[in-house]
């Protein structure tokens, strides 16, 4: 904008004067037409003040008075459409924004739990001053009151979570032990699939203090107590843990039977199968009554089916099993102890291990990974490693070791009918994840058997006028369920989970076998949050308050 001195006044039509307070001294000019014109921005009049001081010093006092009068007038007028942000004090002290003491308490509890803050923060003078300044009518609770209210909020959260879990037909859990500050804890997380949205949901159930030795029976008792506490004992399809010997023994003795239970027991040397087939019925048997009473029959606790963490096993493949490559090849062993010149070996090693790292990263997902991801991931990992055999020069022993490790750790798992069925019942995979027809046939037979069992169960609840109609009622129904499976497999729609809504029986079975997760990374995330709470300065925090504050933070997004 251009302005000129009053001796050369020239009005500009169609635009308001940007400096109305000095309109008597300067007029607005569209463009520069004279040397006396003064260039000035709309939000700054400093050039005009310099001009007055230099050319018209006798009018400088008048100029300053006009500027001050304009400023006083603008401060005294309350403009309703002002774009300036209101001050915090004026905003929170207005009657419309005042909050109650109950709201302040709720916000304070949320701040302490979600921010992993110590309870003593409410006793800091600076913190109390913030609350009392923003809301003078409210008071800040003491540390003792805060602990009690956190515990009450935790109990309300637990009740709400139990009500939410009652709507899930199939659930899965993960469990592990964690030690910090000379204390040990058992962490349990809970996972289910929403039957309407088909989205995976997760929650934390416990971070329970463990005292004494972490033996298999102590772990079984703690898990049983948590399952009963949340009323999920009969709903759990699988519990995923690492391969710790105490967890393996707990689930082998108290859990559901598996085909490879005997193999696990033989490896640990603490479970012996006895063959009683050669006993004669005519012979009199003498039993040690005290031995029978003292023997652990495995009925004291009832644990669900166990699932070894796939990420833990793959990590063993990539470390322990991969180290066997050095024993089988002197060339590989020499190059593996490399110096900075062996960049070729580094590049080839990274190429071989990349599929293993990708599989690990995929299986440790929580929100979008189901049990049906396990076998397709393993089979694709085997295929990717096999394709690298033709291009690898020095890492052939590593490839061989990785193949052997996968078969050693997952050999029995890759043949399990339920896990094969879980992959087939995911629309993302169906039957496209392997070309091994015998594997697919095993999974399809399992699915058909489960669908037929569901038909028979439905028939038991069916009442008909005659026994004859009731006896043959499941014939046509069974054919329809098998036809539903065929339509599901031949459907040309995209592989989204929403496809299952069109096939009710297939959907129900898919939820049953896919509710569990292949890895137990969720409990690692739980322990990561716990580590932020149980710091060195809070090592004396009571286990009850640790669990309350931790679970309120972990479950804040689902309640």
Question: Count of CB atoms within 10 A of residue 365's CB?
Answer: 16
CB 484 within 8 A of CB 507: no
CB 497 within 8 A of CB 353: no
Residues 358-369 have a mean pLDDT of 87
Compute the half-sphere exposure of residue 135: CA atoms within 13 Å on the CB side of its CA: 18
Q: Is the pLDDT of residue 297 over 70?
A: no
Q: Check residue 178 and give its pLDDT.
A: 85
* 235-249, 445-459, 543-557: range with lowest mean pLDDT: 445-459
Distance CA 501, CA 506 (A): 9
For 211, the token pair is 């005292």
Measured in whole angstroms, the distance separating CA 384 from the mean position of its chain's CA atoms is 28
Percent helix, strand, coil in the chain, to 5, is 55, 10, 35
Distance CA 304, CA 255 (A): 5
Distance CA 513, CA 172 (A): 10
pLDDT confidence tier of residue 75, bands split at 50, 70 and 90: low
pLDDT confidence tier of residue 357, bands split at 50, 70 and 90: very high
pTM: 0.67
Name residue 178's beta-bridge partners. Answer: 185
Residues 6-17 have a mean pLDDT of 45
Q: Is the pLDDT of residue 490 over 80?
A: yes
Residues 12-37 have a mean pLDDT of 57
Give tens-digit pLDDT for 38-50: 666 656 667 777 7
Q: Residue 250 belongs to what H/E stretch?
A: helix 245-254
Q: Check residue 272 and give its pLDDT.
A: 33
Share above pLDDT 90 across residues of the chain, in percent, rounded to a whole number: 26
Residues 135-161 have a mean pLDDT of 89
* 237-246, 300-309, 332-341: range with lowest mean pLDDT: 332-341
| Mean of pLDDT over the chain | 78
3-state secondary structure at position 174: strand
Give tens-digit pLDDT for 150-185: 999 999 999 988 988 888 889 999 998 888 877 888
Choice between 261 and 352, residue whose per-residue pLDDT is larger: 352
* 47-61, 123-137, 314-328, 439-453: range with lowest mean pLDDT: 47-61
Give tens-digit pLDDT for 89-118: 554 445 446 788 888 889 999 998 888 888
């Amino acid at each position: 904008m251009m302005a000129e001195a009053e001796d050369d006044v020239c009005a500009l039509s169609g635009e308001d004067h940007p400096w109305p307070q000095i309109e008597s001294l300067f007029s607005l000019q569209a463009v520069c037409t004279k040397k006396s014109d003064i260039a000035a921005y709309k939000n700054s009049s400093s050039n005009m003040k310099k001009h007055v001081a230099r050319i018209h010093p006798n009018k400088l006092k008048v100029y300053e008075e006009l500027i001050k009068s304009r400023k006083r007038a603008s401060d005294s007028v309350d403009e309703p459409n002002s774009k300036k942000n209101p001050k915090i004090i004026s905003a929170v002290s207005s009657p419309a924004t005042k909050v109650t003491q109950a709201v302040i308490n709720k916000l304070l509890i949320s701040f302490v739990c979600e921010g992993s803050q110590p309870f003593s923060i409410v006793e800091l003078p600076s913190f109390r001053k913030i609350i009392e300044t923003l809301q003078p009518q409210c008071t800040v609770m003491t540390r003792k009151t805060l602990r009690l209210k956190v515990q009450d909020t935790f109990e309300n959260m637990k009740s709400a979570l139990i009500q939410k879990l009652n709507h899930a037909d199939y659930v899965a859990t993960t469990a592990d032990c964690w030690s910090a500050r000379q204390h040990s804890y058992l962490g349990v997380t809970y996972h289910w699939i929403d039957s309407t949205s088909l989205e995976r949901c997760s929650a934390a159930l416990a971070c329970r203090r463990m005292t004494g030795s972490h033996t298999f029976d102590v772990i079984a008792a703690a898990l049983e107590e948590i399952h009963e506490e949340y009323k999920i004992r009969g709903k759990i399809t699988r519990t995923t843990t690492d391969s710790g010997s105490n967890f393996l023994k707990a689930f082998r003795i108290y859990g559901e039977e598996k085909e490879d239970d005997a193999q696990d027991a033989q490896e640990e040397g603490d479970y012996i199968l006895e063959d009683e087939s050669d006993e004669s019925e005519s012979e009199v048997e003498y039993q040690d009554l005290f031995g029978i009473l003292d023997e652990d029959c495995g009925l004291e606790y009832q644990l669900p089916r166990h699932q070894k963490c796939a990420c833990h096993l793959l990590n063993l493949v990539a470390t322990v099993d991969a180290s066997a490559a050095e024993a089988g090849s002197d060339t590989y062993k020499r190059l593996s102890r490399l110096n900075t010149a062996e960049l070729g070996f580094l590049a080839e090693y990274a190429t071989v291990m990349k599929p293993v790292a990708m599989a690990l990263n995929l299986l440790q997902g929580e929100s979008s990974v189901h049990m049906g991801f396990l076998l397709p991931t393993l089979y694709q990992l085997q295929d990717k490693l096999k394709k690298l055999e033709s291009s690898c020069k020095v890492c052939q022993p590593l490839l061989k070791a990785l193949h052997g490790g996968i078969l050693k750790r997952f050999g029995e798992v890759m043949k399990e009918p339920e896990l094969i069925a879980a992959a087939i019942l995911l629309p993302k995979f169906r039957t496209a994840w392997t070309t091994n027809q015998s594997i697919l046939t095993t999974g399809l037979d399992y699915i058909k058997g489960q669908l037929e069992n569901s038909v028979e169960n439905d028939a038991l609840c069916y009442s008909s006028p005659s026994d004859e109609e009731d006896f043959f009622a499941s014939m046509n129904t069974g054919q329809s369920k098998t036809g539903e499976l065929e339509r599901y497999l031949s459907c040309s729609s995209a592989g989204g989970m929403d496809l299952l809504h069109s096939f009710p029986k297939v959907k129900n079975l898919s939820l049953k076998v896919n509710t569990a997760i292949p890895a137990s990374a969720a409990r690692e995330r739980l322990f990561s949050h716990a580590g932020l709470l149980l710091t060195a300065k809070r090592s004396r925090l009571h286990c009850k308050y640790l669990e309350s504050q931790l679970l309120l933070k972990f479950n804040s997004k689902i309640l």
